């Protein structure tokens, strides 16, 4: 989540031999009781109800050699558990792509996502201190270990958002080759990330009372007939404009850096590579402590280094 999954899904879907379903996140392989509590809109779509309903998402795949989806809840321990087991019980030959981002930047981006869509009204530092879910998703070693217990070598492809942004064509060529589709294909559309955070977003004010009122069905019905000045007043009382780029994140970085550096060291030991591209995490590139090449944009866990 918040590591470029929408961007990567778009690039994969552009290939004629790859079919990515819509909606992007059907969330079929999670506990529906947890899903209902955490993300009611995804639960309401009901793709968790049966394998037949889930497979209906791929009815239009045609002759595509690869079909896929991109539910970010599949790597959100400890909130959603036993996901790899469910996926492999459904399809023992499933393959997995896991994209990671500088954990501090990902955690902060997760916060702004919840401000924008989930009514997060606490200040940045207070929210991340109070809610472990923000940092849990950035604990990549923990998320990956849950899969590596079950996924056969060679069926997991790892990459970083920073490497994808730095050279999307090279990264796509490697990924397409790993999938076994034509790696010479180049998407016609510009290779520009989607789902980018807007320059200005709204953040719920106070206790969120006015925001809850304006989201009711009754307010939706009467809203068009209300005077413009009243509607503007209601908007100002419900939310305030925020420019995320102008919010000081230094205190959050100081809070997260020791913990997330330790977690990234754990990740480095697990994968046999380091992550110097995560400049916010380290504040400066870390020293080379291993003969493993430091900037390895992608790693096939079968052990081949041909894609590094």
Q: What are 111-165's pLDDT values in tens digits? A: 999 999 888 999 999 999 999 999 999 999 999 999 999 998 789 999 999 999 9
Predicted TM-score of the model (pTM)? 0.84
Measure the CA–CA gap between 212 and 119, rounded to whole angstroms: 9
Closest to 281 in 3D by CA, of 261, 308, 305: 261
- CATH 3.40.50.300 domain extents, the chain: 5-101+138-196+257-300
Phi, psi of 184, rounded to the nearest 5 degrees = -85, -5
Task: Give the CA-trace dihedral at 297, 167, 254, 197, to 10 degrees.
Answer: -130
Tens-binned pLDDT, residue by residue, of the chain (308 aa)? 999 999 999 999 999 999 999 999 999 999 999 999 999 999 999 999 999 999 999 999 999 999 999 999 999 999 999 999 999 999 999 999 999 999 999 999 999 999 998 889 999 999 999 999 999 999 999 999 999 999 987 899 999 999 999 999 999 999 999 999 999 999 886 677 777 788 988 887 776 665 666 667 766 776 677 787 766 766 666 678 889 999 999 999 999 999 999 999 999 999 999 999 999 999 865 555 443 334 444 555 544 333 32
Exposed/middle/buried for 99, CB within 10 Å: 0-12, 13-18, 19+?
A: buried
Radius of gyration from C-alpha coordinates of the chain: 21
Upstream peptide bond of 233 is cis (omega within 30 degrees of 0): no
Strand extents, DSSP E, 102-185: 156-160
Distances (CA, A) of 68 to 18, 21, 23, 24, 127: 8, 6, 11, 9, 33
Domain 5-101+138-196+257-300 in CATH 3.40.50.300? The answer is yes
């Amino acid at each position: 989540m918040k590591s470029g999954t929408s961007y990567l899904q778009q690039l994969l879907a552009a290939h004629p031999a790859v079919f990515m379903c819509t909606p992007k996140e059907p969330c079929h392989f999670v506990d529906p009781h947890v899903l209902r509590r955490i993300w009611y809109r995804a639960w309401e779509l009901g793709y968790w109800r049966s394998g037949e309903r889930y497979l209906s998402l791929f009815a239009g795949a045609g002759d595509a050699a690869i079909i896929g989806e991109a539910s970010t809840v599949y790597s959100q321990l400890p909130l959603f558990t036993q996901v790899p087991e469910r996926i492999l019980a459904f399809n023992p030959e499933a393959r997995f792509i896991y994209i990671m981002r500088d954990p501090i930047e990902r955690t902060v981006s997760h916060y702004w996502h919840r401000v924008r869509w989930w009514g997060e009204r606490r200040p940045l530092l207070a929210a991340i201190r109070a809610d472990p879910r923000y940092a849990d998703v950035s604990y990549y070693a923990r998320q990956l270990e849950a899969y590596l217990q079950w996924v056969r070598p060679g069926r997991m492809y790892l990459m970083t958002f920073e490497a994808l942004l730095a050279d999307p064509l090279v990264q796509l060529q490697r990924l397409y080759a790993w999938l076994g589709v034509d790696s010479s294909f180049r998407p016609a559309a510009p290779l520009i990330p989607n789902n980018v955070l807007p320059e200005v977003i709204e953040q719920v004010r106070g206790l969120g009372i006015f925001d809850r009122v304006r989201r009711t069905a009754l307010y939706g019905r009467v809203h068009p007939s209300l005077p413009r000045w009243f509607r503007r007043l209601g908007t100002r009382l419900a939310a305030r404009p925020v420019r995320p780029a102008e919010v000081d994140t230094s205190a959050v970085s100081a809070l997260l850096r020791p913990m997330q550096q330790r977690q990234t060291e754990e990740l480095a030991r697990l994968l046999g590579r380091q992550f110097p591209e995560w400049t916010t995490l380290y504040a400066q590139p870390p020293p080379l402590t291993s003969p493993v090449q430091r900037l390895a944009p992608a790693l096939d866990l079968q052990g081949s280094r041909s894609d590094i």
